[in-house]
Copies of this chain bind each other. A is one copy, B any other.
Amino acid sequence: MSERQAASARDAYRVFRTIPTRWLDNDIYGHMNNAVHYMLFDTSVNCWLIENGLLDIHGGERIGLVVETGCRYFAEMGYPDMITSGLKVARLGTSSVRYEIGLFRNDEPAAAAEGFFIHVYVDKKTRRPVPLEASFRRVLEGISA
């Protein structure tokens, strides 16, 4: 189609998380279905936000709306593989954040899939964009690359 970019190594990412696969991640072809990657992106980004005190899923006044996502698939993964997700912040806008995520199968050095995930922060009620707070930006800058 187009010339394909090569898969990144683990050192392209800043923080990591282990995510076991589940039986239903595999579709009829016996590999992880392409939509499941996005569930893992969501989980990786939000876990990191929660652990860093940046997301209160029950009570926050602002929420991160996802405005664009994408994924390139380099190699198959699937249950019962153990997956490691790597995460970094690739761009910080006024009220938006672009995360990039690599998914690594078992002990393999190159990503089996890489994707991105753009959050725009909005007020929970009005759904209007709100600027990122300085303290919030500082934590995000900590995993920028």
Q: From residue 44 to 81 of chain A, which have CB atoms closer than 8 A to chain B?
A: 46-47, 50, 57-58, 63, 65-73, 76, 79-80
Give 1 or 0 for each of A104-128: 1 = CB within 8 Å of chain B CB.
0000000000000110100000010
- In the complex the two chains form, is A70's CB within 8 Å of B73's CB? no
Chain A contributes a number of interface residues (CB within 8 A of B) equal to 49
Is A96 interfacial (CB 8 A cutoff)? yes
Find chain B residues with CB under 8 A from A1 CB: 67-68, 91, 93, 96, 98, 118, 120
Q: Are A27 and B29 in contact (CB under 8 A)?
A: no
Residues 12-41 of chain A: 1 if any B CB is under 8 Å from the residue's CB, otherwise 0? 000000111011101111100111101111
Complex Cα distance A117/B39, Å?
17
Contact B57 A30 (CB under 8 A): yes
Give the docked Cα–Cα distance between A16 and B71 (Å). 25
- B68 near A39 (CB under 8 angstroms)? no
What residue in chain B is nearest A95 (Cβ atoms)?
Answer: B1
Q: How far is the CA of A73 from the CA of B120 in the complex (A)?
A: 11
Chain B residues whose C-beta falls within 8 Å of the C-beta of A65 in the assembled complex: 73, 76
